[in-house]
A and B are shown apart, each in its own frame.
Chain A
Amino acid sequence: MDMKQVLKKNTMVIALLLVALFFTWQTSGALLSAQNITNLIAQNSYVVILAVGMLLCILTGGNIDLSVGSIVCLIGAIAGKMIVEFKMNLVVAIVFCILTGLLIGSWQAFWIAYVRIPPFIVTLAGMLLWRGVALLVLKGLTISPFPDNYLVLFNSYIGAPQLALIMGIVITILFVAFKVFSRQTKKKKGYEQENLAVEISRTAIISIVIIALGYKLSLYKGIPIILVLLAIIVALYSYYTSKTVPGRYYYAIGGNEKAAKLSGINTNKVYFKAYLNMAFLSAVAALVCVARFNSSAPTAGTNYEMDAIAACFIGGASAYGGIGTVPGVVIGAIFMGVLNNGMSIMGIDANWQKAVKGLVLLAAVVFDVMSKKKDK
Chain B
Amino acid sequence: MAKVILEMKQITKTFPGVKALDNVNLKVEKGEIHALVGENGAGKSTLMNVLSGIYNYGSYEGDIIFEGKVCQFKTIKDSENKGIVIIHQELALVPYMTIGENMFLGNEQGKKFALDWQETYAKADQLLKVVGLKESSRTLIKDIGVGKQQLVEIAKALAKKVKLLILDEPTASLNESDSKVLLDLLLQFKKEGITSIIISHKLNEIAYVADKITVIRDGSTIETLDKKTDDISEEHIIKGMVGRDLSNRFPSRSTKPSKEIGLEVKDWNVYHPIYTERKVVDNVSLNVKKGEIVGISGLMGAGRTELAMSLFGRSYGSNISGQIKINGKEVQLKTVKQAIENKLAYVTEDRKGNGLVLSNPIYINTTMAKMDKVSKAGVIDKALEIKVANEYREKLKTKCPSVLQSVGNLSGGNQQKVLLSKWMFAEPDVLILDEPTRGIDVGAKYEIYCIINDLVAAGKSVIMISSELPEVLGMCDRIYVMNEGKMVGELSHEEATQEKIMAQILKSGRGE
A244 to B346, Cβ gap below 8 A?
A: no
Q: Does A258 contact B (CB under 8 A)?
A: yes
With contact pairs A192-B386, A251-B364, A255-B358 given, residues A261 and B315 touching in the complex (Cβ less than 8 Å): yes
Residue A200 is within 8 A (CB to CB) of chain B in the complex: no
Q: How far is the CA of A10 from the CA of B464 in the complex (A)?
A: 46
Q: Say yes or no for A264: interface residue by CB 8 A criterion.
A: yes
Closest Cβ–Cβ distance, residue A77 to chain B (whole Å): 36
A-contact 0/1 string along B325-359, CB 8 Å cutoff: 00000000001110110000010100001111111
Interchain nearest-CB distance for A319 vs B (Å): 13
Contact B337 A264 (CB under 8 A): yes
A179 at the interface (CB under 8 A from B): no
Judge whether B357 and A255 touch: CB under 8 Å. Answer: yes
Q: State A345–B335 Cα separation when bound (angstroms).
A: 58
User: Which B residues are CB-close (under 8 A) to A355?
Assistant: none
A376 to B364, CA, bound (A): 21
**Chain B residues with Cβ under 8 A from A202's Cβ?**
none
Nearest-Cβ distance from residue A376 to partner chain B, whole angstroms? 8
Verify B384–A245 contact, CB threshold 8 A. Answer: no
Pick from B116-124, B181-189, B283-291, B374-382 the stretch touching chain A.
B374-382
B379: chain A residues at CB < 8 Å are 243-245
Residue of A nearest to B371 (CB): A245
The 8 Å CB contact of B380, one of A245, A258, A261, A264, is A245
Q: How many residues of A contact B (CB 8 A)?
A: 27
Q: Is A248 an interface residue (CB 8 A)?
A: yes
**B-side contacts of A262, CB under 8 Å:** 312, 315, 336, 346, 348, 354-355
Does B395 sit within 8 A of A, measured CB to CB? Answer: no
Cβ of B1 within 8 Å of any chain A Cβ, yes or no, is no
Task: Indicate if B93 sits at the interface (CB-CB under 8 A).
Answer: no
Identify the closest chain B residue to A191 (Cβ): B383
**A245 cross-chain contacts in B, Cβ below 8 A:** 371-372, 375, 378-380
Q: Mark A237-263, 1 if CB is under 8 A from B, else 0.
A: 000000111101001100110111111
Query: Residue of A at shortest CB range from B390?
Result: A192
On whether the beta carbons of A252 and B386 are closer than 8 Å, the reply is no
Interface size class of B (residues with CB under 8 A): 35 or more
Q: In the complex where A244-B375, A263-B368 touch, is A251 in contact with B380 (Cβ < 8 A)?
A: no
Closest beta carbon of chain A to B4's beta carbon, Å: 35
Given contacts A192-B383, A251-B360, contact A264 B355 (CB under 8 A): no
- For residue A186, CB closer than 8 A to chain B, the reply is yes
Q: Verify if A4 is at the interface (C-beta below 8 Å from B).
A: no
* Complex: chain A residue closest to B355, CB-CB: A259
Beta-carbon contact of A189 and B372 below 8 Å:
no
Closest B residue, CB atoms, query A247: B380
A243 to B152, CA, bound (A): 48
A132 to chain B, nearest CB (A): 36
Taking a contact as CB atoms under 8 Å apart, the answer to whether A322 and B360 are in contact is yes
B335 pairs with A264, CB closer than 8 A: yes
Query: Nearest-CB distance from B353 to chain A (Å)?
Result: 6
- Asked if B380 and A243 make an inter-chain contact with CB atoms under 8 angstroms apart, the answer reads yes
* B386–A259 CB distance below 8 A: no
Given A261-B315, A264-B339, A266-B337: A248 touches B359 (CB 8 Å cut-off) = no
Can you show 10 pairs from A to B with CB atoms below 8 A apart? A189-B383, A244-B378, A245-B380, A248-B368, A248-B371, A248-B380, A255-B357, A256-B353, A259-B354, A262-B346
B: residues with CB less than 8 A from A are 312-313, 315, 335-337, 339-340, 346, 348, 353-360, 364, 368-369, 371-372, 375, 378-380, 382-384, 386-387, 390, 409, 422
Contacts A248-B364, A258-B354 known; 16 new A-B pairs at CB < 8 A? A243-B379, A245-B371, A251-B364, A252-B368, A255-B359, A258-B353, A259-B348, A260-B357, A262-B315, A262-B336, A263-B340, A263-B422, A264-B336, A264-B340, A266-B337, A376-B409
